Chains A and B, each alone.
Chain A
Amino acid sequence: MKRGGRSYVTSPPSFSNDAKKLLVCTGNTVSVFSAATGLQITSLEGHTAPVTTLIVVPASSPAQKILCYCWTASLDGTIRHWDFSGPELLKTIDAQLPIYSMVIPSLLSEPQQIDKRRELSGKLVAYVSVEDISVVNQGSKELRGHIRRFNLAKSRIPRGDTLKETAEPESIVISPSGEFFGIRHKCKIHIWDVPSGGSRHAVSRKMTLHHTKVINDFAFHPTERVIAAGDVTGRVLIWRGFGNRKLALGNQKKKVRAMVDLDNAGVRGEDDAESCTTWHWHSAEVNVLNFSSDGAYLYSGGREGVLVVWQLDTGKKKFLPRIGSPLLYFMWSPDPTLSSVVCADNQIHLLKMPSMEILRTISGIKPPPSLPRMYEGLASTVAFDRSSGIAALCTENYCVQLYNLLNDRGISEIQVCERNHQPGDEITVVVTAVALSLDGSVMSTTEVKLPEDGIGGLVSLKFWASEPDSKTFTLSTIVYEPHRDAGVSAIVFHPTRSMAVSTSFGGDFKIWVCNSDKNQTDKDSSWICHAVGSYKKKPMTAAAFSGDGTVMAVAAENVITLWNPDKNILLSVLGSTLTPITKLCFAGKSEFLVAASHIPRPELSVWNTSKLSLSWSYGLRIEAVTSAVDSSAFAVLAVIPKTFKTDESKENIFRGRDGAILLFNGSDPKPVSIWTVMKARGGSISFLEGDKSQLRLAYVNGSHEYVVFDPNSDESHERSAVDYYGLAGLEETGDAGYTSLYGQLPDYDKKRMEDVESLGTPFVSSERPWETIFSGSTLNFPPLQKLCAEFFESLMEKRTAVVE
């Protein structure tokens, strides 16, 4: 089983001391990438919840540069100390509260004594931002976010050391010198100084800077008392000489002019700063602020996707424009020629420094694009190359990203629409669908230009041919307005020949053929329309080819029409479903046809095309359907109905999972196995048939995290790999319990079916008393009356669910 598609951008990455490695928080693990190749070297595994903070212990002398120690903090409430060259876990400290941010000032201020300190280890002090739910009751005004001081030697955070309480946990920013740290809180910045090392009980002093707008991010100057802050309107504020009065060192306190506020220009109210200047270039919020290591430049970036370099003394600017995605973090490395910028589209760009060229990109899986309402639930923005395990994903910036699911690595990106994406602009052009032929040699995309005031809308269909060696595609044919001005609802490729069918909302479908065989050369190959068909002018919403390609099924609203694709003859029409069909799929080489529809009433139905009759159906909302090529197995991704999920007793079973993958075999209405998954909405599934003739199932969820697993492998293996990673959790259920005891059920409603399944499934939960109460010593058995009541109660609940 392979998991991947993790977000690289949940928290800032960090360079190792020799700048050859880049550490990135990826969900529950920390991945270590090589800066030279952009490939993953290793990962630190151990946390059981997303890692939020990563601190690489800085080197104080050149000899120490090879040292690879880091601290991590996670939402699971632990702080861990690692040697990431190993990788090896050195130490675990249990803080017992989810940690959102952590700084360790003493690592920065007195690095030369670190090793000694670590041995003494009594004085390594961290400041953490935690969420304390224990104090918060419903409706009380107690604040959840706490900034606390924490001695890394002790394992419990003392309550007394709370510095500040906020409504939400805030992230802590520390100055590069380790003298100050602070948090932003709405329109204010709170700054504390770090009490000098010797005094253990010294209290840190606090000061506050005010602004009129909500502050998004701020940074400390490495050497001087300068703070830069960016707000939501795009302004960058620079306070110089902050804290001269309040945070002055003890012996100098007397010398500071007491209350002589002569000309601290731009400083608001009673704030303790010498001056405040404002720079305004960004048009939208500023998310990234960072001083260069020598303090001469300030880097800023925001939603526009432009990295701006300000010369701090003069205010002059340089730009790295058109990054194409909102910037999230900017990190400089110990190597002055290297830095990295992290974008919201899950990309980490490594920059060559003085010239700001993008050297290399660590490319994560890109998040899905936002589609126009009309295409939601219909368009397939993810396509799979079954043989090589490559997924083609539509992205926001008019590209199709090719992502290798087996290696968890981005391969390339194909510019579908020749435009530059500007994040934050109104969406006017969208790539709505992508399809790959079965052998992966041809790709097809559709894009929509949304009209302005009803004029200038354009739908175009593109066919791409793959380059023989490199895994990219080159444009072969553009078809403008393939179905006049109507949108394309689906594209499907013929399983064996170069033929494709596109269906439209305008009531017709077109069969396209490639005429490359005529003039042999690949360069000249182009796709031309072979046939046009329609059925009673009904909108065509889905299409599918049978396993051998002799029959094509096209859904015309709520009937299924079967065609001969070569001669374009209507073979027959399958009886109507209740609601418009959105997905069609033949179950492998068998004669069964799977149809799914969801608006307004969800339905999954399986039709027998030889008898032209309905085999069985469930009332389930289906997000995706896939079938194996050789066998008659097919799998559907179903969204678990709300009424069913909100049921009290099952709350714990699903643990936030909203979908299930059901694996069926042929016409059998009883699923072979069921897995529950998260974020099923907008997800997609596909079988992958590798070279080893090993059948695997790939599931990509709504936020493009994915898992590839073997649907036929034994349960225990699945179970062991499951569950520690909460984001795309999976559980094998198999057919145990009721179904295995009583055999196949008649054609029943899905809800009941689900109940039965969940009853019999071997979940690891103590919430289900009828499983655990019988285990253990008979002495511990509760009295029989109670036992019976509890057992029957669990059964009774199911029945009530059915009544609903």
Chain B
Amino acid sequence: MEEELRVRLNDHQVSKVFPVKPKSTAKPVSESETPESRYWSSFKNHSTPNLVSSVAALAFSPVHPHSLAVAHSATVSLFSSQSLSSSRRFSFRDVVSSVCFRSDGALFAACDLSGVVQVFDIKERMALRTLRSHSAPARFVKYPVQDKLHLVSGGDDGVVKYWDVAGATVISDLLGHKDYVRCGDCSPVNDSMLVTGSYDHTVKVWDARVHTSNWIAEINHGLPVEDVVYLPSGGMIATAGGNSVKVWDLIGGGKMVCSMESHNKTVTSLRVARMESAESRLVSVALDGYMKVFDYGRAKVTYSMRFPAPLMSLGLSPDGSTRVIGGSNGMVFAGKKKVRDVVGGQKKSLNLWSLISDVDESRRRALRPTYFRYFQRGQSEKPSKDDYLVKEKKGLKLTRHDKLLKKFRHKEALVSVLEEKKPANVVAVMEELVARRKLMKCVSNMEEGELGMLLGFLQRYCTVQRYSGLLMGLTKKVLETRAEDIKGKNEFKGLLRNLKREVNQEIRIQQSLLEIQGVIAPLMRIAGRS
């Protein structure tokens, strides 16, 4: 009865119970918190079978379910985008360099280093068409965005070819590049407009309707061009070459809009990604292993992610649910996120149809005091809109050491938190004990086993920078006050040896840091003077 009364009294207090909390650690300045980074980091890593050789190209089918074509070595593998498992393989005579789906997703084209461009039905093993004309390795092949009948390809012979697929003939040879043609893209607004990039540092804009085989516009990137993409408006392009990515305004006469040079090695692939907010971002991967997301509207890198291998190719599914990156060692880094849009859309359409019946049903289901079921409502009953909700006061959850601290059982609290193996909590309890002036008493009261546990903890964490301020002093005190208990005990020998080693190592680190400081300080002073 008395106990019960006490509990009830504790409900309302002048001052609250403050559980022992570890010190909060510094948060990175706003980085992980932007909606942008939340979007990009929400791609959950998805394990994929490791391919043996470098992944040269990746392409997503433009139609649902967006199957994925991966070009590696002399094969193109088709992956289902749901499970990211390989469903079909197409083999080539030489190393495949590029792959591209047709707008309906039924066919795809691929080219290899023997200079052959082949067109496959995704359901059949054999090639439908084999286009032979390139005299050197072919490097890129592309279907125009809507056009189903033509293909664009380019290769090391410096010629861009515009194909008629059905007849397997070259409609026009677009001549002008003075070096290997490495990449190209077709305009999203006009099926006959295309751009190609070459190792002669230039990007040329072509119109397939003009048979003079002369380019319309030329842009000098300044470095061998590795990739080029049209931005969704069709009036701007982005080029990747060397360490830089540049955005150009084609309509405005080929002026550079902005450039991004945050990669440290050659940028290998570029893609345009559509965010949830319908904004577009430029995603680039490079040999330095970084994927960077570039907001070209604000000329700012908004996200950056590191992978453990040089990156060769990049693919983003049109529905934004999958992000696949191919590495030079055959690793495929796939990331998937849940897409709720589809489900939401379905629900919306359902609601649209059954709007009236829904209202009827809710009216029918509403319980009134005249119904018997009204009185049987249980805990799980949802409150209706005009109900007044009485919030239950949430009880404070106290951990074991908090409860022990509340009862002033200080040593037991320290031992129980040591058993938990959470260093931040242990240090927090120690700080609380310092504030109560009871830490040294706890140490002197510890039994042998508990002392071992404490020494183990100190050995492991006393040189960790975040805790060392307290733990270094404590280690010294513990060794001083419990010297006779620790001395000559076999179980402590190993601990003490490790502790000694840790401290020596820390001293060495500090010395080398001081040396570095000694080198830097005069430099800083000189810099400050000038």
- B10 CB contacts on chain A under 8 angstroms: 321
Q: Are B440 and A449 in contact (CB under 8 A)?
A: no
Within the complex, the shortest CB–CB distance from B295 to chain A, in Å, comes to: 15
**Is residue B477 within 8 Å, beta carbon to beta carbon, of the partner chain?**
yes
- Indicate whether A321 sits within 8 Å of B13 (C-beta atoms), given known contacts A485-B469, A519-B30: yes
**Is residue B447 within 8 Å, beta carbon to beta carbon, of the partner chain?**
no
- Complex Cα spacing A704 to B459, Å: 49
Partner of B15 from the list A318, A319, A397, A451 (CB cut-off 8 Å) is: A397
Q: Are A349 and B14 in contact (CB under 8 A)?
A: yes
Within the complex, the shortest CB–CB distance from B469 to chain A, in Å, comes to: 7
**Is residue A748 within 8 Å, beta carbon to beta carbon, of the partner chain?**
no
Partner of B435 from the list A318, A323, A355, A428 (CB cut-off 8 Å) is: A428
**Is residue A456 within 8 Å, beta carbon to beta carbon, of the partner chain?**
yes
- Indicate whether A452 sits within 8 Å of B434 (C-beta atoms), given known contacts A322-B14, A349-B14, A518-B30: yes
Q: Are A420 and B2 in contact (CB under 8 A)?
A: no
Q: Are B15 and A420 in contact (CB under 8 A)?
A: yes
Q: Name the CB-closest residue of B to A454.
A: B473
Within the complex, the shortest CB–CB distance from B462 to chain A, in Å, comes to: 12
What size tier do the contact residues of chain A reach? 35 or more
Within the complex, the shortest CB–CB distance from A715 to chain B, in Å, comes to: 46
- B9 CB contacts on chain A under 8 angstroms: 318-321, 355-356
**Is residue A723 within 8 Å, beta carbon to beta carbon, of the partner chain?**
no
Q: Are A428 and B436 in contact (CB under 8 A)?
A: yes
- Indicate whether A449 sits within 8 Å of B437 (C-beta atoms), given known contacts A357-B12, A455-B473, A481-B469: no
Within the complex, the shortest CB–CB distance from B30 to chain A, in Å, comes to: 6
- Complex Cα spacing A209 to B477, Å: 53
Give the residues from 342 to 386 in chain A that come closer than 8 angstroms, CB to CB, to chain B: 349, 355-358
Within the complex, the shortest CB–CB distance from B528 to chain A, in Å, comes to: 10
Within the complex, the shortest CB–CB distance from A803 to chain B, in Å, comes to: 52
Q: Are B2 and A318 in contact (CB under 8 A)?
A: yes
**Is residue B431 within 8 Å, beta carbon to beta carbon, of the partner chain?**
yes
- Complex Cα spacing A518 to B30, Å: 9
**Is residue A724 within 8 Å, beta carbon to beta carbon, of the partner chain?**
no
Interface residue stretch chosen among B21-29, B356-364, B486-494: B21-29
Q: Name the CB-closest residue of A to B474.
A: A455
Q: Are A421 and B29 in contact (CB under 8 A)?
A: no
Q: Are A452 and B14 in contact (CB under 8 A)?
A: no
Q: Are B8 and A355 in contact (CB under 8 A)?
A: yes
Within the complex, the shortest CB–CB distance from B287 to chain A, in Å, comes to: 33
- Complex Cα spacing A356 to B8, Å: 10
Most buried by A among B9, B10, B23, B431: B9
Partner of B6 from the list A319, A357, A419, A454 (CB cut-off 8 Å) is: A319
Q: Are B431 and A456 in contact (CB under 8 A)?
A: yes
Q: Are B12 and A358 in contact (CB under 8 A)?
A: yes
Give the residues from 411 to 467 in chain B that come closer than 8 angstroms, CB to CB, to chain A: 430-431, 434-437, 439-440
- A320 CB contacts on chain B under 8 angstroms: 9
**Is residue B33 within 8 Å, beta carbon to beta carbon, of the partner chain?**
yes
**Is residue A528 within 8 Å, beta carbon to beta carbon, of the partner chain?**
yes
**Is residue A714 within 8 Å, beta carbon to beta carbon, of the partner chain?**
no
- B473 CB contacts on chain A under 8 angstroms: 454-456
Within the complex, the shortest CB–CB distance from B474 to chain A, in Å, comes to: 6
- Indicate whether A524 sits within 8 Å of B30 (C-beta atoms), given known contacts A420-B18, A456-B430: yes
**Is residue A263 within 8 Å, beta carbon to beta carbon, of the partner chain?**
no
- B430 CB contacts on chain A under 8 angstroms: 456
Within the complex, the shortest CB–CB distance from A450 to chain B, in Å, comes to: 8
Q: Are B431 and A449 in contact (CB under 8 A)?
A: yes
Partner of B18 from the list A419, A452, A455, A526 (CB cut-off 8 Å) is: A419
Give the residues from 502 to 561 in chain A that come closer than 8 angstroms, CB to CB, to chain B: 515, 518-519, 524, 526, 528
Most buried by B among A321, A356, A428, A455: A455
Q: Name the CB-closest residue of A to B466.
A: A480
Q: Are B18 and A418 in contact (CB under 8 A)?
A: yes
Q: Name the CB-closest residue of B to A305.
A: B14
Q: Are A426 and B15 in contact (CB under 8 A)?
A: no
Q: Are B12 and A322 in contact (CB under 8 A)?
A: no
- Complex Cα spacing A318 to B6, Å: 7
- B470 CB contacts on chain A under 8 angstroms: 455-456
Most buried by A among B437, B439, B440: B437
**Is residue A429 within 8 Å, beta carbon to beta carbon, of the partner chain?**
yes
- B520 CB contacts on chain A under 8 angstroms: none
- B12 CB contacts on chain A under 8 angstroms: 355, 357-358
Q: Are A528 and B29 in contact (CB under 8 A)?
A: yes
- B16 CB contacts on chain A under 8 angstroms: 420
**Is residue B5 within 8 Å, beta carbon to beta carbon, of the partner chain?**
yes
Within the complex, the shortest CB–CB distance from B36 to chain A, in Å, comes to: 12
**Is residue A172 within 8 Å, beta carbon to beta carbon, of the partner chain?**
no
- A456 CB contacts on chain B under 8 angstroms: 430-431, 434-435, 439, 470, 473-474
- Complex Cα spacing A452 to B434, Å: 6
Q: Are B477 and A455 in contact (CB under 8 A)?
A: yes
- A515 CB contacts on chain B under 8 angstroms: 29-30
Q: Are A455 and B434 in contact (CB under 8 A)?
A: yes
- Complex Cα spacing A672 to B12, Å: 53
- Indicate whether A428 sits within 8 Å of B434 (C-beta atoms), given known contacts A455-B473, A455-B477: yes
Within the complex, the shortest CB–CB distance from B31 to chain A, in Å, comes to: 11
- A458 CB contacts on chain B under 8 angstroms: 431, 469
Q: Are A421 and B21 in contact (CB under 8 A)?
A: no
- Indicate whether A322 sits within 8 Å of B434 (C-beta atoms), given known contacts A419-B18, A456-B473, A518-B30: no
- Complex Cα spacing A320 to B12, Å: 9
Q: Are A421 and B14 in contact (CB under 8 A)?
A: no
- A316 CB contacts on chain B under 8 angstroms: 2
- Indicate whether A449 sits within 8 Å of B435 (C-beta atoms), given known contacts A323-B14, A454-B473, A481-B469: yes
Q: Name the CB-closest residue of A to B33.
A: A524
Quick one: CB contact mask for A302-330 with B, threshold 8 Å, 1 for yes?
A: 00000000000000111111111000000
**Is residue A478 within 8 Å, beta carbon to beta carbon, of the partner chain?**
yes
**Is residue A453 within 8 Å, beta carbon to beta carbon, of the partner chain?**
yes
Quick one: CB contact mask for A275-294 with B, threshold 8 Å, 1 for yes?
A: 00000000000000000000
- A481 CB contacts on chain B under 8 angstroms: 469
Q: Name the CB-closest residue of A to B481.
A: A453
Q: Are A453 and B469 in contact (CB under 8 A)?
A: no
Within the complex, the shortest CB–CB distance from A308 to chain B, in Å, comes to: 12
- Complex Cα spacing A474 to B29, Å: 19
Q: Are B14 and A358 in contact (CB under 8 A)?
A: yes
- B435 CB contacts on chain A under 8 angstroms: 419, 428-429, 449, 456
- Complex Cα spacing A349 to B17, Å: 19
Q: Are B15 and A421 in contact (CB under 8 A)?
A: yes
Give the residues from 326 to 369 in chain B that come closer than 8 angstroms, CB to CB, to chain A: none
Within the complex, the shortest CB–CB distance from B403 to chain A, in Å, comes to: 15
- A478 CB contacts on chain B under 8 angstroms: 23-24
- B6 CB contacts on chain A under 8 angstroms: 318-319
- Complex Cα spacing A418 to B8, Å: 23
- B440 CB contacts on chain A under 8 angstroms: 452-453
Q: Name the CB-closest residue of A to B21.
A: A418
- Complex Cα spacing A797 to B355, Å: 100
Within the complex, the shortest CB–CB distance from A534 to chain B, in Å, comes to: 13
- Complex Cα spacing A265 to B237, Å: 104
Q: Are B434 and A449 in contact (CB under 8 A)?
A: yes
- Complex Cα spacing A515 to B484, Å: 54
Most buried by A among B2, B435, B437: B435
Q: Name the CB-closest residue of B to A347.
A: B14
Given contacts A357-B12, A428-B437, A449-B434, 8 further A-B contacts (CB under 8 A): A320-B9, A355-B9, A418-B18, A428-B435, A449-B431, A452-B437, A478-B23, A485-B469
Q: Which residues of B contact A (CB under 8 A)?
A: 2, 5-6, 8-10, 12-18, 21, 23-24, 27, 29-30, 33-34, 430-431, 434-437, 439-440, 469-470, 473-474, 477
Closest 8 CB pairs of A and B: A456-B434, A455-B473, A418-B18, A357-B12, A452-B434, A428-B435, A322-B15, A420-B15
A and B contact pairs by CB, cutoff 8 A, 23 listed: A318-B2, A318-B5, A318-B9, A319-B6, A322-B15, A418-B18, A420-B18, A421-B15, A426-B437, A429-B435, A449-B434, A452-B437, A452-B439, A453-B477, A455-B434, A455-B470, A456-B435, A456-B470, A458-B431, A518-B30, A519-B33, A524-B30, A528-B29
